[in-house]
């Protein structure tokens, strides 16, 4: 007699069966390509309650079960001041998906609501700091965030359009303020549309945004990102490969063709090597 699978088991199976090509394969590819998980790592998977962090948690669970590399996980939920119903939705979804979460409280929303100077940036910085601190207290050496491929390419386009520079979002980075801690982005190669498809297939409902400031119209960050998201979506109609092209370009920057660039905070110009033998000669 065949055992009837529980809802969470069906969800887990879909990650490595039905959505293997869209979710599991690019997730594993990022972990291997960028060397995100190492032997003995203790990783805090940070869960905000949205679709991205939830699918990240499930993928990390599956990796932990099947990986030959020994590592451990903590599923960390930081409550920055959610409304009770939003916090409960996170807990309910975690229970449904069989994710054993560790919850801790902060007063970030209160702090950011009392400032008019870029509250979204301040909130992000404060969230990151609290997550690092709590993860370190729990014996972790890494935190995993749910940034996906679309976050990566949108950040690059936004930096050109609105920041007058070409700046990316790398798959991992060392913390400057918490020695020994590292941030990793295992969804780096996963597309947002595939996460949405997975959630809809299982009729899963996650938090969209529980921030108290979402109704404010004077905070430019979210609106500019939405503009870029819409632009890429429009361009995709005539160039279906545009997302992959932007993503690949971040891995193929030709410094010899640029008039200037920055490395470790130091600005450089093409004139530094222009008259040397190794300077490019093609025109």
Per-residue model confidence (pLDDT) at position 221: 56
- Token pair belonging to 22: 């869209």
- Examine the pLDDT at 147 and tell me if it is beyond 60: yes
- Examine the pLDDT at 137 and tell me if it is beyond 90: yes
Q: Are 252 and 245 in contact (CB under 8 A)?
A: no
- Examine the pLDDT at 105 and tell me if it is beyond 60: yes
- Examine the pLDDT at 114 and tell me if it is beyond 70: no
For residues 261 and 157, what is the distance between their CA atoms, to the nearest angstrom?
Answer: 16
Compute the mean pLDDT over every residue in the chain, rounded to the nearest whole number.
90
Tens of pLDDT, residues 186-228: 999 999 999 999 999 999 999 986 555 444 444 455 688 899 9
- Examine the pLDDT at 249 and tell me if it is beyond 60: yes
Q: Report residue 164's pLDDT band, with 50, 70 and 90 as the boundaries.
A: very high
The pTM assigned to this predicted structure is 0.90
- Token pair belonging to 271: 């004139």
* Mean pLDDT, residues 123-131 taken together: 85
Tens of pLDDT, residues 88-99: 999 999 999 999
Per-residue model confidence (pLDDT) at position 124: 78
Going 194 to 199 to 201 to 202, the CA torsion angle's sign is positive
Q: What is residue 5's DSSP assignment?
A: P
Tens of pLDDT, residues 15-67: 999 999 999 999 999 999 999 999 999 999 999 999 999 999 999 999 999 99
Per-residue model confidence (pLDDT) at position 127: 86
Number of Cβ within a 10 Å radius of residue 208: 11
Q: Which residues contact 52 (CB under 8 A, 6 or more apart)?
A: 146, 147, 148, 187, 192, 195
Tens of pLDDT, residues 256-273: 899 999 998 999 999 998
Per-residue model confidence (pLDDT) at position 278: 59
Chain centre to alpha carbon of residue 109: 21
Instruction: Give SS3 for 44.
Output: strand
In this structure, of 2-6, 29-33, 74-78, 81-85, the range with the lowest mean pLDDT score is: 2-6
- Examine the pLDDT at 172 and tell me if it is beyond 70: yes
Q: Are 63 and 28 in contact (CB under 8 A)?
A: yes
In this structure, of 48-52, 122-126, 249-253, 278-282, the range with the lowest mean pLDDT score is: 278-282
Residue 232 vs residues 41, 159, 195, 223, 245: alpha-carbon distances, Å:
36, 14, 18, 14, 11
């Amino acid at each position: 007699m065949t055992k009837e699978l529980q809802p969470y088991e069906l969800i887990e199976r879909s990650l490595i069966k039905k959505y293997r090509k869209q979710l599991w394969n690019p997730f594993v590819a990022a972990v291997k390509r960028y060397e995100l998980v190492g032997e003995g790592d203790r990783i805090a998977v940070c869960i905000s309650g949205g679709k991205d962090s939830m699918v990240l948690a499930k993928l990390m669970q599956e990796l932990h079960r099947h990986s030959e590399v020994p590592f451990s996980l903590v599923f960390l939920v930081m409550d920055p001041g959610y409304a009770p119903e939003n916090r409960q939705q996170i807990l309910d979804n975690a229970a449904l998906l069989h994710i054993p979460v560790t919850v801790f409280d902060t007063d970030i929303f209160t702090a950011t609501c009392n400032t008019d100077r870029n509250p979204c940036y301040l909130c992000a910085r404060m969230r990151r700091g609290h997550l690092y601190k709590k993860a370190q207290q729990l014996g972790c050496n890494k935190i995993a965030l749910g940034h996906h491929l679309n976050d990566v390419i949108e950040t690059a386009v936004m930096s050109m359009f609105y920041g007058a520079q070409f700046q990316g979002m790398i798959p991992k980075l060392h913390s400057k303020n918490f020695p020994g801690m590292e941030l990793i982005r295992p969804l780096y190669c996963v597309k947002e549309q595939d996460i949405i498809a997975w959630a809809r297939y299982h009729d899963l409902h996650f938090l969209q945004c529980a921030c108290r400031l979402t109704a404010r119209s004077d905070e430019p960050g979210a609106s500019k990102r939405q503009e870029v998201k819409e632009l890429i979506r429009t361009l995709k109609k005539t160039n279906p490969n545009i997302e992959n092209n932007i993503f690949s370009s971040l891995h193929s920057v030709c410094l010899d063709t640029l008039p200037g660039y920055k490395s470790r905070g130091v600005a450089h110009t093409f004139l530094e090597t222009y008259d040397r033998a190794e300077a490019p000669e093609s025109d």
